Structure 1
Amino acid sequence: MASIVNSLPHEIWHTIYQFIPQPEEARLYAVNSALFNIDMSARYNRISIPSNPAVLDAGVDATLHTLSNPLITRHVNHIDLKPFIFCLTVPCPAPKLKLLPRSLLDGLAAWSFDLPNLVSCTFSSQTKGTLLARSYCDWIMVLKPPTQGVLLGTCQTLRVLNLEVPLEVYRDAVVPGDLFCPLLEELKIQVYTLYLTTNHENVLELTVAPLINRHSRTLTTLHLVDSRGPYRYLFYRYERLFRALTVFPRLSALSVHFLVYPIESRCLDALGRFIHLHHSSLHTLNLNLYHTLLWNYDFHVMRHHRLYDSSSLFRHGLFTRALPECSALTQLELVLLARDAFETGSAPLLSWFPTLQCTAKLTTLSLPYNTLTQSNLISLLNSTDLSSLRSLRVETRSFNMDLFDALAVTLHRLQDLRVDSHGLLDVDEDSGEEKEWTPLNVLSPDEPFLLELQARSYSHWCSLNRLRLVMIDQRKAYQHLKFEKVYWLKEGQVRHTFVHVRDFEATILPT
């Protein structure tokens, strides 16, 4: 009987497992190995160390015992390692930073060599502020050796490595200088420092770049993210990092999140050079180049210099040479300058977009941050061939039915559409002029916008099956405290308009 039961497809037992009451599944393990493996995979596929800071001390022995069991370790696919734990004591006169017990890291270092199916590891700190800076020296003295042991012990099977730690960790060789993951395919590095005195350019060039270059033969995905850290006014220069990087023959996905410096073009030059070296292999590009003034409060080291705007940015070689050469791109995301940078100065963007050689191959286009007017958005999407597009995300100041009319004509293969907007466009009955307004709850049946929407039919738009309409309400910043979603349209109100859409949602979000 057991052999017959165990011969059932894995997917069937996975479905059954979801409906078994938690205390009862153990009774079936003796006669069903498939269910046992599913349960072990569900419980231990992802291990977070520590999983619960409140019971950290009491749970050290249990954690070590768990990791010493081969029946468990063979199901571990991901480890989330957090050496710094932010704890609030009760009562809490002041927050404090707690370190992982040395015995736990020693044990983990010993057993990390026996995780045969481990493919992903995240090494992170839960806080980036002064608490971490004050405790960093203590952590280096106590936990540096076992942390090195964990990273060296897990590196042989890793395919994904996420490093969310300050640059001081690389400088002080907590991340071993000879760390090499022979199978590594995806690497994410966050860039920030704990101390103002840290020379981030030296660390990026002399320590981080060699770490990345060491995996040049296997790396297919690279994420480089400026996470700002505790000093929001400190801008990290990445010129020397990109100039130190070599060629990655298999690199197909690149994600870059950095600030755009005023006047200083050498950073963009280095980024453009790196993209140029990989223009034939890149299929996915996520380019986030925020304006420096977004993080400028009272202190801005370059406040007296001319800043980048839409005109000067698109005249740079990164946009005139490097990006147009990327003819193999199928997924593109752009976040540029400030949110409203193209509301009035959209001409450079509209002129530049058709120069891309990849537009006919794009399956995913995401413009999730920059606000465009409806007319400019339609002009952008009509300016070139986007016949292969399957997924589109845009943000517009306001919209009406003209947007859907235009998209339905040109994007015949579009399956997933998300439109973020600050309002709707209606015609004022008295003046006859267009007006913008933001709905605060579900539209009433006699609302002119809804009546016009229900009068349309996009039954010819057969490909569209997922539609998201997000209304950004600048007057309700407190909405992020609510747990339930706030809707401004219900699916039943548009069912006859978007006949083929099976997944519809229209929500209101704060700014």
Structure 2
Amino acid sequence: MDEVLERTPHDVWLNISRFIPRNVLRTLYGVNRNFLEIAVNARYEVVTFFKFDKDTESLCRNLSDPNLGRGALTRHVKIKPWVVQPPSHKRGRSLWNFICGVFDPHYTQRTTNKWVKKRLHNDIERVTDTISGMRNLSEYSLVWKEDRPYHTELYRAFLGPLLTRIHDRLVRLSLNVPPEMLCLLAPISLPRLEHLEIGICTRMLPKKEIDQIFGCFVVFVNNLLPTLKSLSISSRVPSQSLDLTGLFTMLTVFPRLQRFSLSIPFDGTHLSSPPSLVAFLNKHRRTLRHLQLSSSRCSAAESPVDPEAKYWIRNVLTSLETPYPRLHGLNLALRPLKADLTPMLNFTTQHSRKLDDLTLTERALSYFEVKDFLDNIGVYSSRLKHLRLKVQHLNPALLELLASRIPRLSLLELTFGDIVATAAHPGHSGYPAHTTRDEFALFKAEIQANRQLYASWILGTIGIHKESRSPPLSDLLQFLSEVIPALQSIVDLAPKPDTRV
């Protein structure tokens, strides 16, 4: 058996590894020599710094050691700045502090601040030197949680100085930082950057200060004019006085821009004037290949919200100079949840000739609403290769509809609540009429009755996010793998805890 394992080509093991979750793959050092190499690559390809302790110090040594060459394996670095906690003093030291404190009431605080400052300096120096030595690094992410305390020193160091040291390597940059830190980007040049992702949370900053920050930030973004291919902007609560209108007005034309994504709270308060976004998109009408307009949870506004603001996605779509000749990917949040879907249907129909990637989120669609979308696309629905939907229920009629109307679909992602057997009949409530166990049995029986339809479906990957617990997801995934022969990958889309190195 060992001889068979040794003779198996490396490419075979590499293909096997693609079906193993990364957090598991990183632990498989001892399977064989091939897997040792694969596991090491998986462990160091993406490195996350979220604290600095003995383990992090050891990691830095491994990554910096030229004899090991681990740093050369790293393609993506994520930093989630940590909080440095003052040390707990021993009894003798505490007594000394007490004596000093009698004569100087600020002694303890001053000593603690000095220790923290020195520790921050050491942490910054070690992490910065480690990352600077990663010669194959191409992606960098800096993360901020607005509800947690943080050291401004870490963000300043990991934004300005660090970016300056790795500026000639970065192709992809993701920043989610305290808003005032965005000003540090203005003098930085990233000559190879193609993908920029920015998360914005301004909390209680006044509008005047936000506008000043954007004035600096837009200098950095506009300097990416020769290389930028993908721009993603997201805002979130709390951002009381945030308005992205001015930002879109100041942005230049990026001749290579192919992907654009915007996510704001669904009430539209972060975009007071959708025409500014429309004008920006129309400037890139001939280059855009993928457009995403999505939403997040609602914000708290300073003043009453314009009731029309929540229709910002609809208003943007109906105002664009359509069609966009190269658009082949579309990701739309169907908001408000009970709004008329006609504008989204019309925009999708206008681009159906080239559309091969469609994502519809937020609103749980009925079987008939999914059918309406496919009917509007008409014969071009067969061109779709990637489809992501949120639906009310998973039922045989829906799968039959997708298999028959989209035979070339290679990736399908579905989010749904329940599994029901017969939700496609007119007048049916769509809710399970039997116990969960019986409903699933009927569901399987109806699917198996049309098994021939799925035999020719080339669907290779299916992702499932089932919001109910019963029946077990494993039972559903096993059944789907049996009836759809082409399936090579089945993914559980349920949110997973963060995994870090």
Scaled by the length of structure 2, what TM-score is found?
0.74
Q: What SS does the corresponding residue of 1:129 show, helix, strand or coil? A: coil
Deviation at 1:301, TM superposition (A): 3.4
Give me the whole-angstrom Cα distance separating, in 1, the residues matched to 2:464 and 2:368.
18
Q: 1:164 aligns with which of 172, 176, 179?
A: 176
Q: 1:295 aligns with which of 276, 293, 298?
A: 298
Give me the whole-angstrom Cα distance separating, in 2, the residues matched to 1:83 and 1:424.
42
Deviation at 1:35, TM superposition (A): 9.8
Q: Tell me how large the CA RMSD over aligned residues is.
A: 4.3
Q: 2:409 aligns with which of 410, 414, 421?
A: 414
Partner of 1:185: 194
Partner of 2:233: 224
- Whether the aligned pair in 1 keeps the contact of 2:293 and 2:331 (CA below 8 Å) is yes
Partner of 1:404: 399
Q: 2:365 aligns with which of 359, 366, 372?
A: 372
1:105-504 to 2 correspondences below 5 Å: 105-110=124-129, 113-125=132-144, 127-129=145-147, 131-132=149-150, 135-136=151-152, 139=153, 144=156, 148-171=160-183, 173=184, 175=185, 177-197=186-206, 199=208, 201-203=210-212, 205-228=214-237, 231=238, 234=240, 236-259=242-265, 266-290=272-296, 294-295=297-298, 300-303=301-304, 305-308=306-309, 314=314, 316=315, 318-322=316-320, 324-338=322-336, 340-342=337-339, 345-354=340-349, 356=350, 358-384=351-377, 385-398=380-393, 400-424=395-419, 434-437=428-431, 443-444=437-438, 447-457=441-451, 458-459=453-454, 461-468=456-463, 470-473=465-468, 486-487=472-473, 489-490=475-476, 493=479, 497-503=483-489
Q: 1:67 aligns with which of 57, 64, 67?
A: 64
Against the structure 1 CA distance between its residues 501 and 202, is the aligned structure 2 distance closer, same or farther, given a 3 Å change threshold?
same
Query: 1:214-255: per-residue Cα shift (whole Å, max 9, x none)?
Result: 111011111111133xx2x62621111111111111111111
Structure (1 or 2) with the greater helix fraction: 2
- Whether the aligned pair in 1 keeps the contact of 2:62 and 2:70 (CA below 8 Å) is no
Give me the whole-angstrom Cα distance separating, in 1, the residues matched to 2:494 and 2:270.
39
Query: 1:467-503: per-residue Cα shift (whole Å, max 9, x none)?
Result: 4454433xx7xx9xxxxx9328535655675454455
Deviation at 1:270, TM superposition (A): 1.3
Q: What SS does the corresponding residue of 1:80 show, helix, strand or coil? A: strand
Deviation at 1:360, TM superposition (A): 1.7
Structure (1 or 2) with the greater strand fraction: 1
Q: What SS does the corresponding residue of 2:189 show, helix, strand or coil? A: coil
Query: 1:77-114: per-residue Cα shift (whole Å, max 9, x none)?
Result: 22223333487999xxxxxxx88721232344456554
The residue identity in structure 1 corresponding to 2:363 is N
The residue identity in structure 2 corresponding to 1:334 is L
Unmatched 5+ stretches in structure 1: 1-7, 29-33, 91-97, 480-484
Against the structure 1 CA distance between its residues 378 and 13, is the aligned structure 2 distance closer, same or farther, given a 3 Å change threshold?
closer
Scaled by the length of structure 1, what TM-score is found?
0.73
Give me the whole-angstrom Cα distance separating, in 2, the residues matched to 1:67 and 1:284.
39
Give me the whole-angstrom Cα distance separating, in 2, the residues matched to 1:130 and 1:21.
35
Q: What SS does the corresponding residue of 1:333 show, helix, strand or coil? A: strand
Higher relative contact order (CA 8 A, sep 6+): 2
The residue identity in structure 1 corresponding to 2:412 is L
Give me the whole-angstrom Cα distance separating, in 1, the residues matched to 2:456 and 2:304.
49
- Whether the aligned pair in 2 keeps the contact of 1:440 and 1:508 (CA below 8 Å) is no
User: Which range is displaced more, 268-277 or 70-79?
Assistant: 70-79
Partner of 1:94: none
Against the structure 1 CA distance between its residues 119 and 388, is the aligned structure 2 distance closer, same or farther, given a 3 Å change threshold?
same
Against the structure 1 CA distance between its residues 327 and 259, is the aligned structure 2 distance closer, same or farther, given a 3 Å change threshold?
farther
